[in-house]
Structure 1
């Protein structure tokens, strides 16, 4: 199999999904050739720097502006048309790459390349099968375009809305968001806690803010210190080195009777999820998917307005999470959650229902089916 995967390095989720698909293809077909393209960077590094730089700055400095643009682009035809025109101009830069590589399938893990693949199909520049992996828990119009042969979605709730926006039902597959195959490795909870000198009998709470270590992590941590509950805390700061060094003063000491362990960037997030009873996090699509695989209840904070707020709505609706981003204080909400062990147990059981551990196998089989149909 020869596969071209088009991603965009906006945050970590889109790239992680692309890497996961690549890993699964090689897992099931080691003789394959798979290439991941950072689409905007490939087309023009300056354009990539401007667009991605602006995106990251907006969600860090003025997330409310990003939320307004998210909502506006969902309803305003003018803004969508401008975006499509720009994308159409950029799209043709991909043709030489596609022709040279001669792939059997084209896959996108971001809205920009999804639209580009749609344009190539509409303009009859390619007849190759195309697949788009939606990396959140609610659809947005920026993802949805004609002539995409398969849309992979994280949950069945997304399907009616996508159909209402013109996407054929037979092109939507509730398979799930792909995660690194290594994430399925199981770790012994007691061994993990012993490694960091934690008790195996106390409630363990994990705090993280995605690969960028974003959100009000320090505030959440301070709120936990005020709990009456006997807890211990793990904090993963990701690539946020400033936050890491600020919190390191709490490493392996008991603050207000609560022991803390600080971790920077790690590729063993699943190890610490499996050792914890509750995850407090920003609701990025990949992080949610990983949490569901680990069957860990979630407390959501600092959602990016728009996409992550929609993710939060999904989680709360299905009793997979509590929302810490507004309303009651974090302290009160978590105290209420921990007051009855059945609360966490019910959420954990719900996580099992929405977990999709066979996502890699199912996507691989669908890719094979699309390729065979196209070659028939």
Structure 2
């Protein structure tokens, strides 16, 4: 099987989902060929800097404006039409790649690349199955296009919402967002914490800033310092070196036992060894946490898709919401002391986790390619 995965590196989630699918294809079918394309960057690196750079800047500088545009795009056809016209102009750049690789199937993990694949099929440039992996916990019109053969959604709640938006039921598969196979393995809490010179018997809080390093992480760390005697803290800053350096300075003067980690491939181990994850509700991070059965406290949700993710988590009692980051130390402390509540949330995580997503998606890809060419 030859699989072309189209993604876009707007944040880490879309590309991580693509990489997870690639891993499961290789595990199940080592002879398969998989190519992941960062679509806009491949088409034009300068355009990528303009489009994705503007998107990321809007998230940092004006998340409220981004939220308004997100909601407006649901009802305002002019926004969708403008996006479609831009995609129609640039998609011809993908045709040589597709002709050269000759994929049996296309997988998309981002709304823009999904629309591009749909347009290519509508224009008769390709005649192969297209599978869409939606990387959040609620649908948006930007994801939904004609000529898509399957939509992978993160949860059962989305099925009826997709049907209401006109997607046939037989095209919707509630397999969950795929996470890397490492998250389905079991790791020793004792070994992980001991390797960091931390106490396995002490309540451990994992604080994550997200791939973009957004949110009020420094404020949260100050709040955690207020309950320093009863906890120890792990902080993952990803590629945000500025945040890493600020936290290193702050932790050096703090009495709170803290370990600060930059980019890491061991998130799975840190999640499994922690009692609480404090995070922004990005789709992939949320999924990794649910699969790892770790209770969440969420903060600084980006208006739009992250707010919808937060709604899902709160509705199904998978997390608590830190409403006032600058005054949440007592809320976190009470949460950590409530072992009954923590156990209940862990059980809910087990209920909503879909650890077999990667294998389910692989089996669907196999089924679609066989039926398409038979």
8 Å contact kept, 2:215–2:280: yes
Q: Report the 3-state secondary structure (helix = DSSP H, G, I; strand = E; otherwise coil) of the residue aligned with 1:3.
A: strand
Query: In the superposition, relative to structure 1, how do residues 253 and 28 fare at CA in structure 2: closer, same or farther (>3 Å)?
Result: farther
CA distance in 2, matches of 1:334, 1:69: 33
> Which aligned pairs between 1:334-373 and structure 2 lie closer than 5 A?
334-373=332-371
User: Residue 280 of structure 1: CA displacement?
Assistant: 0.1
Q: Report the 3-state secondary structure (helix = DSSP H, G, I; strand = E; otherwise coil) of the residue aligned with 2:99.
A: helix
Aligned CA-pair RMSD: 1.7
The answer for the alignment partner of 1:192 in structure 2 is 192
244-253 or 78-87: which moved more?
Answer: 244-253
The answer for the alignment partner of 1:324 in structure 2 is 322
8 Å contact kept, 1:153–1:177: yes
Unaligned segments of structure 2, at least 5 residues? none
TM-score under structure 1 length normalisation: 0.96
CA distance in 1, matches of 2:162, 2:324: 29
1:178 aligns with 2:204: no
CA distance in 1, matches of 2:80, 2:346: 39
181-190 or 340-349: which moved more?
Answer: 181-190
The answer for the alignment partner of 2:147 in structure 1 is 147
CA distance in 2, matches of 1:58, 1:191: 41
8 Å contact kept, 1:130–1:148: yes
The answer for the alignment partner of 1:27 in structure 2 is 27
8 Å contact kept, 1:153–1:174: yes
User: Residue 304 of structure 1: CA displacement?
Assistant: 1.2
The answer for the alignment partner of 2:168 in structure 1 is 168
1:295 aligns with 2:293: yes
8 Å contact kept, 2:223–2:326: no
Unaligned segments of structure 1, at least 5 residues? none
CA distance in 2, matches of 1:148, 1:207: 37
1:76 aligns with 2:47: no
8 Å contact kept, 1:9–1:15: yes
8 Å contact kept, 1:106–1:130: yes
Query: In the superposition, relative to structure 1, how do residues 228 and 14 fare at CA in structure 2: closer, same or farther (>3 Å)?
Result: closer
The answer for the alignment partner of 1:259 in structure 2 is 257
The answer for the alignment partner of 2:156 in structure 1 is 156
Q: Report the 3-state secondary structure (helix = DSSP H, G, I; strand = E; otherwise coil) of the residue aligned with 1:99.
A: helix
8 Å contact kept, 2:87–2:116: yes
The answer for the alignment partner of 1:63 in structure 2 is 63
The answer for the alignment partner of 1:16 in structure 2 is 16
User: Residue 125 of structure 1: CA displacement?
Assistant: 2.4
